[in-house]
Amino acid sequence: MNKVIIASDSFKGSLSSLQVARAAAEAVRDVFPDCETVCLEVADGGEGTSGALANYLTGSERITVEVHGPLGDTVNAAYHISGCTAVMEMSQASGLTLIPKERRNPLLTSTAGTGEMIADALDRGCRNFIVGIGGSATNDGGTGMLAALGWRFLDRNGREVVPCGGNLGEITEIDHTGARKELKDCSFTVACDVDTPFVGPEGAARVFAPQKGATPAMVETLEDGMVSFAGTVMVSTGKDISAMKGAGAAGGLGGAFAAFLGATLKPGSELVLEASGFDAKAAGADLVITGEGRMDSQTLRGKVPIAVLRHSQKLGIPAIAIAGDVEDVQEAINAGFRAVIPITPEGMSIQDAMRPQTAMDNICTALKRLFSYPSNWCSS
């Protein structure tokens, strides 16, 4: 082999995107010493998105701001500014990893901190926003973010409703009068990690709320609230976000961005691949390596590996995927990967497998084993 492109998502809780790529590059060079390896930092709209995008912007500056976390406590959230463009990810302010498992409750969590990040960037003169919205702890329909930017939510008696997932069903009126005036001059591009609609069997509450701590009863409360809130949004803005692709991302935050801020919702992995110049850099490559910590049914709905695969297929380059765990190898092979490799040795505990050095060693070992059998992955 002469050239290999490596563009993997992070292995969450273990390795960053670039750490995965560097471990894979080491394996390639061990077997093919003269091979050129190109490591690209990529993400899908969740953790690592703002950092990845900032790497491809000119002269970006890292900003840290104190905001309210998903349960109202104070957290430090980082984002990047390049010129008048702000690049941020909601997980910095409203992410699931900010809450211990025993305190996770999407009836109570709020996206207020995400709105506070946007407000801080507005104060610094930013008018273009790229926001990744994966990895949320929330299911508040974006009401917390909007409240932080000046919107008010009222019940049928005209009383203000505290914005959170459990209160969505109480909202019957949305007051726009206090919204930040600068927002009219702003553009928003939202990087979604999933194409989930706002409501329904495949919507935000039913699919993702259980991962955020919701019991079955909570899921029903959240779904009813989301249905009700979508109707109120329709009356208030004239926009129907119920079935909009990506509107259910981050517990409905995607829908709030689209309806109230005129945002364009894009698959996050596509946005990052475009910014990285993947197609130009991959031209002439013999192989593409991608992956993520766990490949499952959600992978094929717009996560990094499937986006990288699609680009590779257009360029006529075989692609393989690595992951700590793979739910269904055959499903991934059927999608078009030349090979799909679970890197964790049989019998190794998750705790051991997620140790950074162990994960990097497992990547190297698995790839070198694969490279020993060219018929399993290379072009015919």
Class of domain 57-269: alpha beta
Contacts of residue 310, defined as CB under 8 A and 6 or more positions apart, other chains included, come to none
Strands 74-82 and 61-68: antiparallel
As annotated, the residues of the chain forming the CATH 3.90.1510.10 domain(s) are: 57-269
Asked whether the predicted pLDDT for residue 302 surpasses 90, the reply is no
pLDDT digits (tens, 9 = 90+) for 212-249: 999 999 999 999 999 999 999 999 999 999 999 999 99
Is the model's pLDDT at 373 over the cut of 80? no
Q: Report residue 187's pLDDT band, with 50, 70 and 90 as the boundaries.
A: very high
Tens digit of pLDDT for each residue in 41-72? 999 888 888 889 988 887 889 999 999 999 99
- Using one digit for the tens of pLDDT, what is the confidence trace for 308-330? 999 999 999 999 999 999 988 88
pLDDT for residue 150? 98
% of the chain surpassing 90 pLDDT: 85
pLDDT of residue 57: 84
Packed helices 216-237 and 249-261: angle between N→C axes, nearest 10 degrees: 10
Cβ-count burial of 238 within 10 angstroms (0-12 exposed, 13-18 middle, 19+ buried)?
exposed
pLDDT of residue 121 exceeding 60, the answer is yes
Asked if residue 254 has pLDDT above 90, the reply is yes
pTM of the entire structure?
0.87
SS3 of residue 80 by DSSP? strand
SS3 category, 105? coil
- Rounded to whole angstroms, the Cα distance separating 45 from 129 reads 13
Using CA atoms, how far apart are residues 154 and 225, in angstroms rounded to an integer?
14
350: Cβ contacts below 8 Å, ≥ 6 apart: none
The residues facing 65 across adjacent strands are: 77
pLDDT number for residue 375: 64
Q: Is the pLDDT of residue 193 over 90?
A: no
Which strand (E) or helix (H) includes residue 79? strand 74-82
| 253 pLDDT above the threshold of 70 | yes
Q: What is the DSSP letter of 147?
A: H
For 3-43+277-376, which CATH superfamily applies? Glycerate kinase; domain 1 (3.40.50.10350)
Chain-centre distance for alpha carbon 198: 16
Nearest to 139 by CA among 266, 47, 227, 237: 227
Q: How far is CA 370 from CA 31, 49, 200, 295, in A?
A: 10, 29, 42, 18
Tokens of 336: 């078009």
Distance between CA atoms of 22 and 31, rounded to whole angstroms?
Answer: 14
Of 316, 315, 317, 321, the residue nearest 334 (C-alpha): 321
More confident position, 267 or 112:
112
Q: Is the pLDDT of residue 379 over 60?
A: no
Say which residue the tokens 């206090």 belong to. 178
Between vectors from CA 77 to CA 120 and to CA 144, what angle results, nearest 5°? Answer: 65
Please return the burial class of 311, using the count of CB atoms within 10 Å of its CB with bins 0-12, 13-18 and 19+.
Answer: buried
Helices 17-31 and 356-371: angle between axes, nearest 10 degrees:
40
Flag whether pLDDT at 125 surpasses 80: yes
**Rounded distance, CA 285 to CA 370, Å?**
18
What span, in angstroms and rounded, lies between the C-alpha atoms of 124 and 271?
A: 24
Q: How confident is the model over 128-153, as a mean pLDDT?
A: 97
Output the pLDDT for position 13: 84
Alpha-carbon distance 179 to 145, whole Å? 11
Q: What is the rounded average pLDDT of the residues 132-137?
A: 94
- pLDDT for residue 210: 97
Q: Where are the alpha helices (DSSP H) in 244-354?
A: 249-261, 268-276, 278-282, 304-315, 329-335, 350-353
pLDDT at 291 over 50: yes
- CATH 3.40.50.10350 domain span(s) along the chain: 3-43+277-376
- For residue 380, the model assigns a pLDDT of 46
Q: Which of 209, 211, 229 is nearest to 219 (CA)?
A: 209
